[in-house]
Chain A
Amino acid sequence: MSNIEFSIDDKKLEALPGETVLKAALRNGIDIPYLCYHPCLSIAGNCRICLVRIKGRPGFHPSCNLPVAPGMEIESDCEDVSAVRKNVMQFITLNHPVDCPVCDKAGECKLQNYHFKYNGSASLSIDAKKHKPKFYDVNERILLDAERCILCSRCVRFTHEISKSGMLGITERGQQSRVEHLESGAAKDDYSDNIIQNCPVGALLSRDFLYKSRVWYLEPVASVCNGCARGCSVDVWRRKHHWKVRALGSEKNRMAYRITAKQNDDINGRWICNKGFDLNKQINDFASRATKPAIGGMDATCQDALSEARKLIFEAKKPAAIVSAHASNEELEAFKKTLGSRVEVYVRKDYEPAAGEVVEDELLIKADKNPNSTKVEELFGKESFSAAAGHDLVLVWGDNVEYSALSGAKIIHLATQKPNGNPDVLIPISTQFERKGSYTNFEGKVNRFEQVFDKPELVLHASDVFGRL
Chain B
Amino acid sequence: MNGHRVFFTFDITEDCHTLDAYKKRGGYEALAKVLKDGLQPADVQAEVAASGLRGRGGAGFPTATKWSFLAKNSPVYYLVCNADEGEPGTFKDRWIFEHTPHNLIEGMVLASYAINSRHSFIYIRGEFDLSYKRLMTALKEAYAAGLVGKNIMGSDFSCDIIVQQGGGAYVCGEESSLLSSIEGKKGYPKNKPPFPAVKGLFQAPTCVNNVETLSVLPWILRNGGAKYAEYGTEKNKGTRLFGISGHVKRPGMYEREVGYPYKKMIYEDCGGILGDKALKAVIPGGNSTPILKPEQIENLTMDIEAVAAQGSMLGSGGVIVIAEGTCIPTLLQVMTRFYAHESCGQCTPCREGTTWMNQIVTRIAKGQGKAGDIENLERIAKGIMGNTVCALGAAAAMPVQSYLKQFRHEFEYFIEHGRSMCDGRLEI
Contacts and interface: CB of A to CB of B under 8 A. Distances in A.
B352 interface: yes
A95 B348 CA distance: 11
Contact of A48 (B169, B348, B370): B348
B345 A87 contact: no
Interface in B324-383: 340-349, 351-356, 359-360, 363, 370, 376, 379, 382-383
Given A90-B383, A174-B351, A45 B191 contact: yes
Contacts of B275: none
A88 B341 contact: no
Interface of B is mostly: helix
Nearest to A169: B186
B352 A175 contact: yes
Interface string A30-61: 00000000000001111111010000001110
Interface in A149-198: 150-151, 153, 169-170, 172-177
A44 to B, nearest CB: 8
A127 B191 CA distance: 31
A171 to B, nearest CB: 9
A70 B253 CA distance: 49
Nearest to B375: A124
A43 B199 CA distance: 15
A175 B387 contact: no
Contacts of B353: 91
A113 interface: no
Nearest to B356: A94
A397 to B, nearest CB: 54
A153 B346 CA distance: 9
Interface string B209-233: 0000000000000000000000000
B18 interface: no
A174 B386 contact: no
B388 interface: yes
Q: Which of A60, A87, A153 has the most CB of B within 10 A?
A: A87
Contacts of A84: 383, 387
Interface residues of A, number: 38
B340 A175 contact: yes
Contacts of B347: 45-48
Given A51-B387, A124-B376, A173-B169, A91 B341 contact: no
B169 A60 contact: no
Nearest to A130: B355
Interface string B302-319: 000000000000000000
B351 A177 contact: yes
Contact of A88 (B169, B171, B349, B354): B349
Contacts of A130: 355
B389 A151 contact: no
Contacts of B387: 48, 51, 59-60, 84, 87-88
B370 A126 contact: yes
B193 interface: yes
A299 B337 CA distance: 77
Nearest to B360: A127
B194 to A, nearest CB: 10
Interface in B376-428: 376, 379, 382-383, 386-389
Contacts of B388: 48
A92 B193 contact: no
Nearest to A88: B348
Contact of A175 (B349, B351, B382, B386): B351
Given A46-B346, A175-B345, A94 B352 contact: yes
> 5 nearest interchain CB pairs?
A177-B345, A87-B383, A45-B191, A91-B352, A174-B343
Interface of A: 43-49, 51, 58-60, 62, 65, 67, 84, 87-88, 90-92, 94-95, 124-127, 130, 150-151, 153, 169-170, 172-177
